[in-house]
Amino acid sequence: MAKSPLGKLKSTAIGMTELPRFDAKMLVGFRALEDLTGTTSDALDECGIAGAVPASVLKPTDPGARIVGQALTVLNRKVSEPRKVSGLADIEAHNLAEPGDVLVVQGVAGISSMGGVSASIGKRQGEIAAIVDGAVRDIDHSRRIGYPIWSAGVSPITGKWRIETMAVNHPVQIAGIEVKPGDLVIADECGVCFVPFARAAEVLAVAQRMAASEAQRLKKLDEGIPLADFVKLPR
């Protein structure tokens, strides 16, 4: 267990303090996909990777947001008895953030793992979004400051006294999918995709091939190709 950089909670296990980083071209390549999560989800399928979560499970606070970034992870759990002091230590993850990172939280159903202050800190640290498998609150504030969140729920109930942060930058489970620090997080109004760090180049190559093929098929449609011929086009 690494020492907590800020000493917020002595019981919080801190994993890697520096994430493995992608070449900028990797992120640019994913951002260029017109159908961002749809194409990425199809590419994950072809690569045999379970990594896509629908927006019905992780709902966006800003349907217009599109993000591609690397995961900073936080593991929260519900405490057996409410405390008189806050057990949340997401600030430890914010402290490690680099511009473009995405906070990824394994949270608790019906109890908020982050609110307006946490969103403001994340925004100041350069994070582009948060993914929370659990509840959040103050979403009007996060929308106003341009910090989109995809979450499993919204609740006014604070997690300060009810939740304990167990680990930062350790693997977490998000909607049944393991997400490791540094993995790629891709999200839009259709949902969220998680791409394992080691396989991102493979997934991008497949996604780009799929996107190019679909663009050609759509072009043929615009040109008036008969449907009998259209269905014969390669995908």
Domain of 114, CATH number, reads: 3.50.30.40
- Asked whether the predicted pLDDT for residue 17 surpasses 60, the reply is yes
The pLDDT value recorded for residue 3 is 46
In a domain, 103, yes or no: yes
Cα–Cα dist 157/202, whole Å:
41
In a domain, 83, yes or no: yes
Question: CB within 8 A of 33, min separation 6: which ones?
Answer: 39, 40, 207, 208, 211
The pLDDT value recorded for residue 233 is 64
Condensed to tens digits (0 to 9), the pLDDT of residues 124-138 reads 999 999 999 999 999
In a domain, 187, yes or no: yes
In a domain, 36, yes or no: no
Condensed to tens digits (0 to 9), the pLDDT of residues 166-214 reads 999 999 999 999 999 999 999 999 999 999 999 999 999 999 999 988 7
Residue 140's closest CA among 41, 32, 62?
A: 62
In a domain, 190, yes or no: yes
How far is the CA of 153 from the CAs of 21, 54, 109, 139, in angstroms?
30, 14, 7, 11
Condensed to tens digits (0 to 9), the pLDDT of residues 65-120 reads 999 999 999 999 999 887 788 888 999 999 999 999 999 999 999 999 999 999 99
In a domain, 31, yes or no: no
In a domain, 123, yes or no: yes
What string of DSSP letters covers 174-204?
ETTEEE-TT-EEEEETTEEEEE-GGGHHHHH
Cα–Cα dist 146/142, whole Å:
6
Written as one letter, the residue type at 28 is V
- Asked whether the predicted pLDDT for residue 218 surpasses 80, the reply is no
The pLDDT value recorded for residue 220 is 62
What is the model's pTM?
0.89
Condensed to tens digits (0 to 9), the pLDDT of residues 39-73 reads 999 999 999 999 999 999 999 999 999 999 999 99
The pLDDT value recorded for residue 118 is 96
Domain containing 155 equals 13-22+52-197
How far is the CA of 193 from the CAs of 1, 39, 156, 160, 222, in angstroms?
29, 10, 27, 29, 30
In a domain, 212, yes or no: no
Number of folded domains that form the chain: 1
Cα–Cα dist 155/153, whole Å:
7
Cα–Cα dist 217/15, whole Å:
46
